[in-house]
Amino acid sequence: MDSEKNLELYSETSSLPSTSTMSIKPNHVAMVYAALLEPGNGANHPRVAMRRLLLYRKALGGNLLRQGWELNGRGYVAFHKYMQHLKVLDKSQPSSPVSGQGASDRGPWTAYERGSWSSSRGGSTVSESGGSEIPAEPGYSFVGMHCIFDDCKASVNVVKFGHMSSDLLSFAASNGLIMLCYVSQPPRILHHLKGHTKEVTDLDFSLSNHYLSSASMDKSVRVWDVKKGDCLRVIYGSAPQLCVHFHPVNNNFLLVGNGNKEISVFNFSTGRIIQKLSLDSNVTAMDIDHSGHILFAGDAKGCIHSVSLQMHNGDFVMRHSHKTGMTGVHKSSTTTVQFRTFSRLAAGPVLLVASQDGLIRFFGIALRIEGYLSLRCSLQLPPRARNIRASFCPLLSLQHGEFIVSGHEDANVYFYDFTRPKHPCVNKLQGHRVPVVGVAWNHGENLLVSSDCEGVVIVWKRAANGGR
């Protein structure tokens, strides 16, 4: 009797509309999936009705799961329509990367964005010069401070979240102390890593987050065990070590930029130097593309070098491919070099470069031409007396504009939009008392961390619907 009832229930819901209709509802699609998955023989078996019902529920559940899939807080269907809209815009009305919003302002995705962005102060944003800007402009909305770490009594110049991690955080101070902590509830300190005797200049996590590498002004590079907090390897050099990065494919290799105008490749298991490449000036910042084939290095004169990396028989072959210099007379040290796989503005991979003189540049990358860089746009901010770092805002940049976040010497954290050269500031966070020098996002981009010159590290919590 139960199977007969189930059969009747399935037959009542299995009437499909004509194939000539313009759209098929999700439950109809699920029924089609169920019919396709049903065995061809044994139609008169008493268990066929139950099999039909289970297959129908399975297909329907999968369809609903795909529709409920979220990217940037939007459903799968909305995101699919958005991507289709971008393809139409690319073919019909391409817009200039610096000429404002262009044709993309007139798409269906605009309705999803309008009114959903707000400043952390609840009103119009304020620029660095103190002037009020246009209200209701795009900008990350924050609900406040998630947690504060104030254990360091020296300037925290470097902050970094673990690779693909929303919880693991590391920050380093000018006195050589490195902190490993978790920011989830309850926030807690995991380890105090002691060993460096001078300022730590850079940090990087391995792909699995098992190891943490650190570079320091004490001319050494150290590799730490994240779980135990032990120092596994110390590599001494002849000059201050200014930046460090694990190779993204083989984490046994460390790439280090130093004050000897060199990029060195180390095997951290043995401590052996595999190869060196000499540049024109001290290497102060660097990043590597996702494939590990091209290294982007910024030097003390503001030049950006593209270096080709190839591995043969376990050894690296490094070759200087391209060099992009700064325009103008003044040469300023590079503080940030950050690679990103894709950007709407450049329609491909991009590179963010920040200099100490306040110039922030946005490059398009031609990976097929060994990392050739083409300047897409730039933003001139007030000069800095300190090495203040900047970072992309990837999720926000999926929508209109190209956004970055940076600290400032007025103790605020600012959000800028490259596509609005006249009014670039779209939001700011207030909470520090002294200059903010370091910023970093976690993997989920719901948390932003900022650090200042007094050793205070603030983890900001983004609103659930902020900036979406």
Contact 310, 303 (CB under 8 A): no
| Distance (Å) of CA 454 to CA 6, 36, 178, 427, 433 | 69, 65, 15, 23, 9
- Integer Cα distance of 445 and 344 in angstroms: 18
Where does the pLDDT of residue 466 fall: very low under 50, low under 70, confident under 90, or very high at 90 and above? Answer: very low
- Same domain flag for 97 and 121: no
- Integer Cα distance of 363 and 372 in angstroms: 9
- Same domain flag for 60 and 127: no
Final residue of a structural domain among 104, 124, 159: 104
Higher-pLDDT residue of 105, 245 = 245
- Integer Cα distance of 28 and 197 in angstroms: 67
Examine the pLDDT at 128 and tell me if it is beyond 60.
no
User: In a 3-state reduction of DSSP, which class is residue 7?
Assistant: helix
Where does the pLDDT of residue 329 fall: very low under 50, low under 70, confident under 90, or very high at 90 and above? Answer: low
- Same domain flag for 394 and 465: yes
pLDDT on residue 421: 77
- Integer Cα distance of 408 and 304 in angstroms: 23
Averaged over 106-128, what is the pLDDT? Answer: 34
Highest mean pLDDT, choosing among 67-71, 243-247, 317-321:
243-247
The H or E element containing residue 126 is none
- Integer Cα distance of 121 and 223 in angstroms: 41
Where does the pLDDT of residue 101 fall: very low under 50, low under 70, confident under 90, or very high at 90 and above? Answer: very low
- Same domain flag for 403 and 451: yes
Q: Which phi and psi angles does 160 have, rounded to 5°?
A: -155, 135
pTM, entire model: 0.70
Weakest mean pLDDT among 125-129, 209-213, 230-234: 125-129
* 376 assigned to some structural domain: no
Q: Alpha helix (H) ranges present in 14-147? A: 26-37, 48-68, 76-92, 110-113
Where does the pLDDT of residue 314 fall: very low under 50, low under 70, confident under 90, or very high at 90 and above? Answer: low
Examine the pLDDT at 233 and tell me if it is beyond 50.
yes
Examine the pLDDT at 65 and tell me if it is beyond 80.
no
- Same domain flag for 126 and 54: no
* 210 assigned to some structural domain: no
Higher-pLDDT residue of 365, 87 = 365
- Integer Cα distance of 424 and 404 in angstroms: 10
Mean pLDDT of the chain: 77
- Integer Cα distance of 152 and 147 in angstroms: 15
**DSSP letter string, 373-433:** EEEEEEEE----SS---EEE-TTGGGSSS-EEEEE-TTSEEEEEETT-SSS-EEEEEE--S
pLDDT on residue 96: 35
Which candidate, 301, 266, 180, 182, places its Cα nearest to that of 231? 180
Q: Which two tokens stand for residue 53?
A: 């019902």
* 295 assigned to some structural domain: no
- Same domain flag for 417 and 445: yes
pLDDT on residue 373: 92
* 155 assigned to some structural domain: no
The owner of tokens 């699919």 is 80
Examine the pLDDT at 215 and tell me if it is beyond 90.
yes
The H or E element containing residue 3 is helix 2-13
- Integer Cα distance of 92 and 405 in angstroms: 32
Contact 382, 400 (CB under 8 A): no
- Same domain flag for 39 and 59: yes
Q: Which phi and psi angles does 201 have, rounded to 5°?
A: -100, -25
- Same domain flag for 429 and 467: yes
- Report CA 307 to chain centroid distance, whole Å: 22
* 251 assigned to some structural domain: no
The H or E element containing residue 264 is strand 262-267
Examine the pLDDT at 38 and tell me if it is beyond 80.
no
- Integer Cα distance of 333 and 299 in angstroms: 6
Q: Which two tokens stand for residue 279?
A: 């540049």
- Integer Cα distance of 215 and 208 in angstroms: 19
Number of domains observed in the structure of the chain: 3
* 392 assigned to some structural domain: yes
Examine the pLDDT at 391 and tell me if it is beyond 50.
yes
167 DSSP 8-state letter: S
Weakest mean pLDDT among 29-33, 177-181, 229-233, 319-323: 29-33
Measure CA of the first residue to CA of the last residue in the chain; give whole Å.
Answer: 52
Range of the domain at 419: 115-149+387-468
* 170 assigned to some structural domain: no
* 350 assigned to some structural domain: no
- Integer Cα distance of 233 and 206 in angstroms: 14
pLDDT on residue 328: 61
Task: Tell me the per-residue pLDDT of 405-451, one tens digit each, with 9 for 90 and over.
Answer: 999 999 999 999 888 878 888 889 999 999 999 999 998 888 999 99
Examine the pLDDT at 19 and tell me if it is beyond 80.
no
- Integer Cα distance of 16 and 412 in angstroms: 59
| Distance (Å) of CA 168 to CA 227, 338, 360 | 11, 20, 28
**272 Cβ partners below 8 Å, 6+ apart?**
266
pLDDT on residue 41: 53
Where does the pLDDT of residue 155 fall: very low under 50, low under 70, confident under 90, or very high at 90 and above? Answer: very high
